[in-house]
Structure 1
Amino acid sequence: MPETDDTDLRHTLGDLVVASNRLGRLAARVTGNTESPASWRTLSVLQGAGAMRLGELAANSRVSQPTMTKIVRNLVESEWVKRIADTDDARAWQIAITPKGAAALLAWRDELSAALVPMFADLTDDEIEALRKTVTIIGSRVDLSAATSEALAGAR
Protein backbone atom coordinates (compact mmCIF):
# COMPACT_ATOMS: atom_id res chain seq x y z
CA MET A 1 0.00 0.00 0.00
CA PRO A 2 1.49 3.38 -0.97
CA GLU A 3 2.46 5.66 1.90
CA THR A 4 -0.15 8.32 1.02
CA ASP A 5 -2.92 5.70 1.11
CA ASP A 6 -1.57 4.41 4.43
CA THR A 7 -1.61 7.94 5.87
CA ASP A 8 -5.16 8.51 4.67
CA LEU A 9 -6.29 5.20 6.15
CA ARG A 10 -4.57 6.00 9.44
CA HIS A 11 -6.29 9.39 9.65
CA THR A 12 -9.66 7.91 8.73
CA LEU A 13 -9.33 5.13 11.32
CA GLY A 14 -8.24 7.66 13.94
CA ASP A 15 -11.25 9.84 13.13
CA LEU A 16 -13.52 6.78 13.31
CA VAL A 17 -12.25 5.83 16.77
CA VAL A 18 -12.68 9.40 18.07
CA ALA A 19 -16.16 9.76 16.54
CA SER A 20 -17.22 6.37 17.90
CA ASN A 21 -16.04 7.21 21.41
CA ARG A 22 -17.78 10.58 21.31
CA LEU A 23 -20.98 8.95 20.05
CA GLY A 24 -20.89 6.35 22.81
CA ARG A 25 -20.33 8.96 25.53
CA LEU A 26 -23.12 11.16 24.14
CA ALA A 27 -25.56 8.25 24.02
CA ALA A 28 -24.68 7.26 27.58
CA ARG A 29 -25.23 10.84 28.82
CA VAL A 30 -28.58 11.10 27.03
CA THR A 31 -29.86 7.91 28.66
CA GLY A 32 -29.04 9.12 32.15
CA ASN A 33 -27.98 5.59 33.07
CA THR A 34 -25.68 5.67 36.10
CA GLU A 35 -24.06 2.25 35.66
CA SER A 36 -20.30 2.49 35.21
CA PRO A 37 -19.09 2.33 31.59
CA ALA A 38 -16.48 -0.14 32.86
CA SER A 39 -19.28 -2.50 33.90
CA TRP A 40 -20.80 -2.44 30.41
CA ARG A 41 -17.37 -2.87 28.83
CA THR A 42 -16.67 -5.85 31.11
CA LEU A 43 -19.98 -7.50 30.24
CA SER A 44 -19.29 -6.89 26.54
CA VAL A 45 -15.85 -8.50 26.80
CA LEU A 46 -17.29 -11.54 28.57
CA GLN A 47 -20.13 -11.87 26.12
CA GLY A 48 -17.80 -11.65 23.14
CA ALA A 49 -14.89 -13.73 24.39
CA GLY A 50 -16.44 -16.04 26.96
CA ALA A 51 -15.34 -16.81 30.50
CA MET A 52 -11.83 -15.79 31.49
CA ARG A 53 -9.61 -15.24 34.48
CA LEU A 54 -9.66 -11.91 36.28
CA GLY A 55 -6.24 -10.81 35.02
CA GLU A 56 -7.14 -11.53 31.41
CA LEU A 57 -10.46 -9.74 31.86
CA ALA A 58 -8.66 -6.71 33.32
CA ALA A 59 -6.27 -6.66 30.35
CA ASN A 60 -9.11 -6.94 27.83
CA SER A 61 -11.05 -4.17 29.59
CA ARG A 62 -7.91 -2.04 29.93
CA VAL A 63 -8.12 -1.59 33.69
CA SER A 64 -5.87 -2.66 36.54
CA GLN A 65 -6.45 -5.99 38.25
CA PRO A 66 -7.53 -4.31 41.54
CA THR A 67 -10.03 -2.19 39.59
CA MET A 68 -11.36 -5.29 37.84
CA THR A 69 -11.70 -7.05 41.20
CA LYS A 70 -14.00 -4.24 42.34
CA ILE A 71 -15.96 -4.24 39.07
CA VAL A 72 -16.45 -8.01 39.24
CA ARG A 73 -17.52 -7.83 42.90
CA ASN A 74 -20.24 -5.33 41.94
CA LEU A 75 -21.30 -7.39 38.92
CA VAL A 76 -21.50 -10.55 41.05
CA GLU A 77 -23.71 -8.69 43.55
CA SER A 78 -25.97 -7.68 40.64
CA GLU A 79 -25.93 -11.31 39.47
CA TRP A 80 -24.66 -10.15 36.05
CA VAL A 81 -21.52 -12.30 36.26
CA LYS A 82 -20.55 -15.41 38.16
CA ARG A 83 -17.30 -16.95 39.28
CA ILE A 84 -16.69 -20.47 38.04
CA ALA A 85 -13.89 -22.85 38.96
CA ASP A 86 -11.01 -22.84 36.50
CA THR A 87 -10.63 -26.39 35.21
CA ASP A 88 -6.90 -25.81 34.55
CA ASP A 89 -6.09 -24.49 38.04
CA ALA A 90 -8.16 -25.43 41.09
CA ARG A 91 -6.90 -22.31 42.91
CA ALA A 92 -8.14 -19.94 40.21
CA TRP A 93 -11.53 -18.68 39.10
CA GLN A 94 -12.94 -17.65 35.79
CA ILE A 95 -15.52 -14.93 35.38
CA ALA A 96 -18.53 -15.55 33.12
CA ILE A 97 -21.51 -13.45 32.12
CA THR A 98 -24.86 -14.74 33.39
CA PRO A 99 -28.14 -14.75 31.47
CA LYS A 100 -29.23 -11.84 33.69
CA GLY A 101 -26.03 -9.96 32.72
CA ALA A 102 -26.56 -10.71 29.03
CA ALA A 103 -30.13 -9.40 29.28
CA ALA A 104 -28.95 -6.25 31.06
CA LEU A 105 -26.30 -5.67 28.38
CA LEU A 106 -28.86 -6.15 25.60
CA ALA A 107 -31.23 -3.71 27.31
CA TRP A 108 -28.38 -1.19 27.72
CA ARG A 109 -27.43 -1.43 24.05
CA ASP A 110 -31.08 -0.97 23.08
CA GLU A 111 -31.31 2.05 25.39
CA LEU A 112 -28.17 3.54 23.83
CA SER A 113 -29.36 3.08 20.27
CA ALA A 114 -32.85 4.40 21.08
CA ALA A 115 -31.25 7.53 22.55
CA LEU A 116 -29.41 8.12 19.27
CA VAL A 117 -32.36 7.61 16.90
CA PRO A 118 -33.46 11.28 17.01
CA MET A 119 -29.97 12.39 15.91
CA PHE A 120 -30.00 10.05 12.91
CA ALA A 121 -33.71 9.96 11.99
CA ASP A 122 -33.14 12.10 8.90
CA LEU A 123 -30.60 9.77 7.26
CA THR A 124 -31.33 8.60 3.75
CA ASP A 125 -31.62 4.92 2.91
CA ASP A 126 -28.16 5.12 1.27
CA GLU A 127 -26.65 6.64 4.41
CA ILE A 128 -28.21 3.95 6.59
CA GLU A 129 -26.81 1.31 4.22
CA ALA A 130 -23.38 2.98 4.46
CA LEU A 131 -23.59 2.72 8.26
CA ARG A 132 -24.57 -0.96 7.98
CA LYS A 133 -21.60 -1.63 5.70
CA THR A 134 -19.28 0.22 8.08
CA VAL A 135 -20.51 -1.88 11.01
CA THR A 136 -19.98 -5.05 8.96
CA ILE A 137 -16.44 -4.04 7.98
CA ILE A 138 -15.49 -3.10 11.53
CA GLY A 139 -17.12 -6.22 12.94
CA SER A 140 -15.13 -8.39 10.54
CA ARG A 141 -11.86 -6.81 11.72
CA VAL A 142 -12.46 -6.31 15.44
CA ASP A 143 -13.02 -9.39 17.51
CA LEU A 144 -11.91 -10.67 20.88
CA SER A 145 -11.28 -14.07 19.37
CA ALA A 146 -8.21 -16.13 20.05
CA ALA A 147 -6.66 -15.04 16.74
CA THR A 148 -7.02 -11.36 17.61
CA SER A 149 -5.67 -11.93 21.11
CA GLU A 150 -2.65 -13.70 19.63
CA ALA A 151 -2.08 -10.88 17.14
CA LEU A 152 -2.29 -8.31 19.92
CA ALA A 153 0.16 -10.29 22.06
CA GLY A 154 2.56 -10.45 19.13
CA ALA A 155 2.35 -6.68 18.58
CA ARG A 156 3.71 -5.95 22.07
Structure 2
Amino acid sequence: MNSELSVLLGDLVTVTHRLTRLAAQATGDSTSPAAWRTLSVLTSAGPMRIGELALASRVSQPTMTKIVANLNELEWIKRIADSSDARAWHIAIAPKGQNALNDWRYRLGAALEPLFADLSVRELGVLSEATDLIGDRITVQEMAA
Protein backbone atom coordinates (compact mmCIF):
# COMPACT_ATOMS: atom_id res chain seq x y z
CA MET A 1 0.00 0.00 0.00
CA ASN A 2 1.10 3.53 -0.73
CA SER A 3 0.81 5.29 2.63
CA GLU A 4 1.25 8.73 1.03
CA LEU A 5 -1.75 8.01 -1.20
CA SER A 6 -3.74 6.74 1.79
CA VAL A 7 -3.03 9.96 3.69
CA LEU A 8 -3.96 12.08 0.68
CA LEU A 9 -7.23 10.21 0.14
CA GLY A 10 -8.05 10.43 3.86
CA ASP A 11 -7.46 14.18 3.68
CA LEU A 12 -9.66 14.39 0.57
CA VAL A 13 -12.54 12.64 2.32
CA THR A 14 -12.16 14.88 5.36
CA VAL A 15 -12.03 18.12 3.39
CA THR A 16 -14.99 17.13 1.21
CA HIS A 17 -17.06 16.40 4.32
CA ARG A 18 -16.13 19.83 5.68
CA LEU A 19 -16.97 21.41 2.31
CA THR A 20 -20.35 19.66 2.23
CA ARG A 21 -21.22 20.82 5.76
CA LEU A 22 -20.17 24.38 4.96
CA ALA A 23 -22.27 24.46 1.80
CA ALA A 24 -25.29 22.88 3.47
CA GLN A 25 -25.16 25.37 6.33
CA ALA A 26 -24.84 28.28 3.90
CA THR A 27 -28.01 27.28 2.04
CA GLY A 28 -30.09 27.38 5.23
CA ASP A 29 -32.01 24.33 4.00
CA SER A 30 -33.46 22.19 6.79
CA THR A 31 -33.96 19.00 4.78
CA SER A 32 -32.23 16.05 6.37
CA PRO A 33 -28.83 15.17 4.88
CA ALA A 34 -30.06 11.56 4.88
CA ALA A 35 -32.87 12.54 2.50
CA TRP A 36 -30.40 14.11 0.04
CA ARG A 37 -28.09 11.10 0.37
CA THR A 38 -30.99 8.74 -0.32
CA LEU A 39 -32.04 10.65 -3.42
CA SER A 40 -28.41 10.69 -4.59
CA VAL A 41 -28.12 6.92 -4.13
CA LEU A 42 -31.32 6.37 -6.10
CA THR A 43 -30.06 8.65 -8.86
CA SER A 44 -26.74 6.85 -9.23
CA ALA A 45 -27.83 3.26 -8.49
CA GLY A 46 -31.43 3.19 -9.70
CA PRO A 47 -34.46 1.63 -8.03
CA MET A 48 -33.84 -0.73 -5.12
CA ARG A 49 -35.54 -2.35 -2.17
CA ILE A 50 -35.61 -0.62 1.21
CA GLY A 51 -32.99 -2.94 2.71
CA GLU A 52 -30.59 -2.35 -0.19
CA LEU A 53 -31.21 1.38 0.02
CA ALA A 54 -30.55 1.36 3.77
CA LEU A 55 -27.29 -0.48 3.21
CA ALA A 56 -26.22 1.89 0.43
CA SER A 57 -27.11 4.93 2.56
CA ARG A 58 -25.47 3.46 5.69
CA VAL A 59 -28.57 3.64 7.89
CA SER A 60 -30.71 0.99 9.58
CA GLN A 61 -33.71 -0.43 7.76
CA PRO A 62 -36.20 1.18 10.21
CA THR A 63 -34.49 4.53 9.67
CA MET A 64 -34.68 4.10 5.89
CA THR A 65 -38.36 3.19 6.19
CA LYS A 66 -38.94 6.57 7.89
CA ILE A 67 -36.84 8.44 5.31
CA VAL A 68 -38.76 6.78 2.48
CA ALA A 69 -42.09 7.62 4.14
CA ASN A 70 -41.06 11.28 4.39
CA LEU A 71 -39.81 11.35 0.79
CA ASN A 72 -43.03 9.68 -0.34
CA GLU A 73 -45.11 12.41 1.38
CA LEU A 74 -43.14 14.98 -0.61
CA GLU A 75 -43.67 12.90 -3.77
CA TRP A 76 -39.89 12.77 -4.23
CA ILE A 77 -39.82 8.98 -4.58
CA LYS A 78 -42.12 6.40 -6.09
CA ARG A 79 -42.75 2.79 -5.15
CA ILE A 80 -42.56 0.19 -7.89
CA ALA A 81 -43.99 -3.28 -7.33
CA ASP A 82 -41.30 -5.98 -7.31
CA SER A 83 -42.24 -8.45 -10.03
CA SER A 84 -40.32 -11.25 -8.26
CA ASP A 85 -41.99 -10.75 -4.86
CA ALA A 86 -45.57 -9.47 -4.55
CA ARG A 87 -44.88 -8.32 -0.96
CA ALA A 88 -41.88 -6.16 -1.85
CA TRP A 89 -41.37 -2.78 -3.47
CA HIS A 90 -38.54 -1.07 -5.23
CA ILE A 91 -38.00 2.57 -4.39
CA ALA A 92 -37.15 4.94 -7.25
CA ILE A 93 -36.57 8.65 -7.44
CA ALA A 94 -39.60 10.51 -8.83
CA PRO A 95 -39.36 13.51 -11.17
CA LYS A 96 -40.15 15.89 -8.26
CA GLY A 97 -37.34 14.29 -6.26
CA GLN A 98 -34.89 14.59 -9.14
CA ASN A 99 -35.82 18.25 -9.55
CA ALA A 100 -35.39 18.84 -5.80
CA LEU A 101 -32.00 17.09 -5.83
CA ASN A 102 -30.83 19.05 -8.87
CA ASP A 103 -31.91 22.28 -7.20
CA TRP A 104 -30.14 21.27 -3.95
CA ARG A 105 -26.91 20.55 -5.80
CA TYR A 106 -27.13 23.89 -7.59
CA ARG A 107 -27.70 25.71 -4.29
CA LEU A 108 -24.71 23.92 -2.75
CA GLY A 109 -22.54 25.10 -5.63
CA ALA A 110 -23.94 28.63 -5.48
CA ALA A 111 -23.31 28.76 -1.73
CA LEU A 112 -19.66 27.81 -2.27
CA GLU A 113 -19.04 30.01 -5.28
CA PRO A 114 -17.79 33.02 -3.27
CA LEU A 115 -15.19 30.79 -1.61
CA PHE A 116 -13.75 29.79 -4.99
CA ALA A 117 -14.50 32.90 -7.08
CA ASP A 118 -10.85 34.00 -7.11
CA LEU A 119 -9.47 30.76 -8.62
CA SER A 120 -7.26 31.19 -11.65
CA VAL A 121 -8.05 29.50 -14.94
CA ARG A 122 -5.34 26.92 -14.15
CA GLU A 123 -6.78 26.25 -10.68
CA LEU A 124 -10.28 25.85 -12.14
CA GLY A 125 -8.82 23.35 -14.58
CA VAL A 126 -7.16 21.40 -11.76
CA LEU A 127 -10.43 21.37 -9.82
CA SER A 128 -12.35 20.22 -12.91
CA GLU A 129 -9.83 17.46 -13.66
CA ALA A 130 -9.82 16.27 -10.05
CA THR A 131 -13.62 16.20 -9.99
CA ASP A 132 -13.71 14.16 -13.19
CA LEU A 133 -11.01 11.78 -11.97
CA ILE A 134 -12.78 11.13 -8.67
CA GLY A 135 -16.20 10.83 -10.34
CA ASP A 136 -14.87 8.31 -12.86
CA ARG A 137 -13.26 6.17 -10.14
CA ILE A 138 -16.41 6.19 -8.04
CA THR A 139 -18.58 5.26 -11.03
CA VAL A 140 -16.33 2.29 -11.84
CA GLN A 141 -16.47 1.15 -8.20
CA GLU A 142 -20.26 1.50 -8.02
CA MET A 143 -20.68 -0.49 -11.22
CA ALA A 144 -18.46 -3.29 -9.84
CA ALA A 145 -20.43 -3.49 -6.58
Following TM superposition, the consecutive aligned residue runs of length 4 or more in structure 1 with deviations greater than 4 angstroms are none
1:55 counterpart = 2:55: no
C-alpha distance in 1, partners of 2:28/2:38?
Answer: 19
TM-score, normalised with respect to structure 2: 0.97
Match of 1:138 in 2: 134
Percent of paired sites with the same residue = 58
Matched residue type, 1:73: A
1:66 counterpart = 2:52: no
Match of 2:115 in 1: 119
Match of 2:78 in 1: 82
Q: Secondary structure at the match of 1:145?
A: helix
* CA deviation profile, 1:42-73 (whole Å, cap 9, x unmatched): 00000111000000000000000000000000
RMSD of equivalent CA atoms: 1.0
For structure 1, the 5+ residue unaligned runs are: 150-156
TM-score, normalised with respect to structure 1: 0.90
C-alpha distance in 2, partners of 1:74/1:96?
Answer: 14
What's the CA shift for 1:146? 3.8
The count of aligned residue pairs is 144
Match of 2:11 in 1: 15
**Higher share in strand:** 1
Match of 1:153 in 2: none
* CA deviation profile, 1:98-140 (whole Å, cap 9, x unmatched): 0110000000000000000000000001111001111111011
Q: Secondary structure at the match of 2:31?
A: coil
C-alpha distance in 1, partners of 2:25/2:8?
Answer: 26
C-alpha distance in 2, partners of 1:139/1:87?
Answer: 32
C-alpha distance in 1, partners of 2:45/2:59?
Answer: 17
C-alpha distance in 1, partners of 2:124/2:55?
Answer: 34
Q: Secondary structure at the match of 1:90?
A: coil
Q: Secondary structure at the match of 1:35?
A: coil
1:41 counterpart = 2:34: no
For structure 2, the 5+ residue unaligned runs are: none
